[in-house]
Chain A
Amino acid sequence: MSAQNVVYLDNNATTRVAPEVLEAMLPFFSERYGNPSSMHAFGGSVGSEMRQARESLADLLGCGTDEIIFTSCGTESDNTAIRSALTAQPEKRHIVTTRVEHPAVLSLCKFLERSQGYRVTYLGVDAEGKLDMQELTDSLNDDTAIVSIMWANNETGVIFPIEQIAELTRSRGIMLHTDAVQAVGKIPMQLSKTGVDMLSLSGHKLHAPKGVGALFVRRKLPYRPYLIGGHQEHGKRAGTENTTGIIALGAAAKAAKAHLPSENTTVRALRDRLESALLASVPDSRLNGHKTERLPNTSNISFKYIEGEAILLLLDQLGIAASSGSACTSGSLEPSHVLRAMGVPFTFAHGSIRFSLSRYTTDADVDYVIKNVPQIIETLRKISPYKQGAADPLSPLDSKPPCGC
């Protein structure tokens, strides 16, 4: 299936490489294959292009070029940041994070807890996906090595008040890392004016290709590299640079900066139109996540009585690409950990669909989805034993012992 005949509303999973990004990177696959570390001009000139890429990214983040380390993906950035904080402060054994992090943070924390004996506090969220600042404050202590809290949630788009959190961690002298993989390019940021110590981002979420990411590390912050080897990235991340990826990320950062306003006007308007139309036309549907403290491109909607994978496959039949937090699609048997942390009832959690837009989403795309979703939901609800006014035909099913999943 080609990009022409798909309505792509899964931009939180990955994005299209922007044409200007592709154009910028292509020469570095072919003629300009030099190694930026080389002494000759052929390689060295690649290095100067990389410098420009670093400047563009620093400009988008509002930080210094010397505060950026290029990596291979968001996951590497997350892992590097958390491990660095722990290695740099070996006497501290406590980590604070949230229950709704991406597995790139959550699984690492669970691993550190299980096999290395770290203590981890997993902060909860309320029904709208928001953090309790008091709970965060109370969780901090002298043993806390790092607080790692995402800037925006990949499933619901809910935004955490990172700047406010940074004031708190800074006042307590505790390192703060934020997974901003979903936030960069959608939320304006000026890192030099915040207390954020480390920030992870990933190229493929902002119209650069897969396989490149970056980690912002505040100047003078104690830092320990994850990959040890050559002197690349000033010894902060060894390994010959992914020059094509880095140059692409630079181009993508430049474009993202230019499109930042439209993300919050045009894209937001499209998202809002899609969301309100679906919520209005489909009975027993609900929005997951806070209505306004949310990324402008993300809408996570649950359709009661039916299951997400089935919805996705019917959408797929119509060429609509989205994703779901249902058990069957999460690769596990339980619905999304994010929705469960928010206490979304099971009747809704299994039928959640995430639509995530981008600057390439059109009015026609949104119209097409608005037109087709209601009938898909209707079709599946006809098959389902659960119905509106759940009481009667279902009571035998519902009276079963709740299963703890």
Chain B
Amino acid sequence: MWEYTDIVKEHFLNPKNVGEMKDASCVGEVGSIACGDALKLFLKIEDGIIRDASFQTFGCASAIASSSALTELVKGKTVDEAMKITNKDIAAALGGLPKEKMHCSVMGEEALEAAIKSYRGEDVGSHEHSEGEIVCECFGVTDEQILHAVRENDLKTIEDVTYYTKAGGGCAKCHEKIEALIAQARGEAAPTPAPAPKKLSNLQRMKLIEEVLEKEIRPRLQLDGGDIELADIDGLTVVVNLRGRCTGCPASQATVQGTVQGILREKVDPEIVVREA
């Protein structure tokens, strides 16, 4: 069960400004039924001031609460002031949202932006995510949306991006691209794939072998009820003892050669030879 603030609950149970507005000056729409939430925001604007706002939302409690809070926030503001409202303001007006639900506040910001753009006669495109290229196909999220959310909310991880935009919350295929976008937005170099192997000193190599054995190889063997101990390291030769289920197991030779040597060659040095004590 989500921990919603009392304000969220109040806005959900007694939402303000629900319904279609027949004489709206503009409408902003985001989301889709397939994605699990959608918001249609109606604004009535006179003399550059938002006189009235209403909404229709398909979505969870926090989506409904975010929409309701948004309509209250914009009423009485000038269009220029409203344009400055961000997802953070919406979340703040609700006394905060669980981080997994921040995308509901982002949806509010996007709907507001879409409504104002349409009022100003700017092109909102054929669908809501008109700017940029789709990065996450599962949720139809563009690079622009991700960059914006990262900058606006100081996001650091893929998980954060998923919480705020939903991108990456499905098949995970887009995770690499999201990572690159986070780096881009944060002004960092994209994470370079595995730095070129440096020549290791003997001491460094021994340390690394121990670390890889401990952190990667042992847990894997333990899953099968086995275990491994480091007996000796002699240059590029690593001597090990198999323990537990691995002892005397006919497959132990394969384990040593395949799993252990394979991993060490990949992580430490391609010339490593592993044998049993």
Closest chain B residue, CB of each to CB of A91: B251
Closest chain B CB from A339 CB (angstroms): 12
* Contacts A383-B64, A405-B138; A333 near B166 (Cβ below 8 A): yes
Closest chain A CB from B247 CB (angstroms): 13
Q: Is A396 an interface residue (CB 8 A)?
A: yes
Q: Is A292 an interface residue (CB 8 A)?
A: no
Q: Is B45 an interface residue (CB 8 A)?
A: no
* Contacts A327-B36, A333-B36, A347-B33; A384 near B19 (Cβ below 8 A): no
Chain B residue numbers with a CB within 8 Å of A386 are 33, 38, 58
Closest chain B residue, CB of each to CB of A309: B60
Give the bracket for the number of chain A residues in contact with chain B: 35 or more
Q: Is the CB of B56 within 8 A of A385?
A: yes
> For the complex, what is the distance from the CA of A328 to the CA of B39, rounded to whole Å?
16
Interface flags for A54-98 (1: CB within 8 Å of B; 0: not) read 000000000000000000000000000000000100100000000
Chain A residue numbers with a CB within 8 Å of B245 are 87, 228
Interface flags for B220-244 (1: CB within 8 Å of A; 0: not) read 1001110000000000000000001
Within 8 A of B (CB), among A351-405: 382-386, 393, 396-405
Closest chain B CB from A310 CB (angstroms): 5
Chain B residue numbers with a CB within 8 Å of A317 are 13
Closest chain B CB from A239 CB (angstroms): 15
Closest chain B CB from A354 CB (angstroms): 16
Q: Is the CB of A346 within 8 A of B29?
A: no
* Contacts A334-B169, A347-B33, A350-B33; A307 near B59 (Cβ below 8 A): yes
Chain B residue numbers with a CB within 8 Å of A134 are none
> For the complex, what is the distance from the CA of A199 to the CA of B38, rounded to whole Å?
43
> For the complex, what is the distance from the CA of A335 to the CA of B139, rounded to whole Å?
13
Chain B residue numbers with a CB within 8 Å of A306 are 58
Q: Is B7 an interface residue (CB 8 A)?
A: no
Q: Is the CB of A87 within 8 A of B225?
A: yes
Number of interface residues, chain B, beta carbon within 8 A: 43
> For the complex, what is the distance from the CA of A314 to the CA of B15, rounded to whole Å?
13
Closest chain A CB from B49 CB (angstroms): 25
Chain B residue numbers with a CB within 8 Å of A397 are 29, 32-33, 38, 40
Closest chain A residue, CB of each to CB of B67: A383
Q: Is the CB of A310 within 8 A of B137?
A: no
Q: Is the CB of A400 within 8 A of B127?
A: yes
Q: Is B179 an interface residue (CB 8 A)?
A: no
Q: Is A332 an interface residue (CB 8 A)?
A: yes
Q: Is A298 an interface residue (CB 8 A)?
A: no
Q: B13, B29, B32, B57: which has the most chain A beta carbons within 10 Å?
A: B32
Chain A residue numbers with a CB within 8 Å of B276 are none
Chain A residue numbers with a CB within 8 Å of B270 are none
Q: Is B144 an interface residue (CB 8 A)?
A: no
Chain B residue numbers with a CB within 8 Å of A398 are 32-33
Q: Is the CB of A400 within 8 A of B60?
A: no
Q: Is A326 an interface residue (CB 8 A)?
A: yes
> For the complex, what is the distance from the CA of A306 to the CA of B33, rounded to whole Å?
9
Q: Is the CB of B162 within 8 A of A333?
A: yes
Q: Is B132 an interface residue (CB 8 A)?
A: no
Q: Is A305 an interface residue (CB 8 A)?
A: yes
Closest chain A residue, CB of each to CB of B134: A401
Closest chain A CB from B221 CB (angstroms): 11
> For the complex, what is the distance from the CA of A308 to the CA of B60, rounded to whole Å?
7
Q: Is A313 an interface residue (CB 8 A)?
A: yes
A contacts, CB < 8 Å to B:
87, 90, 115-116, 224, 228, 305-310, 313-314, 317, 326-329, 332-335, 346-347, 350, 382-386, 393, 396-405
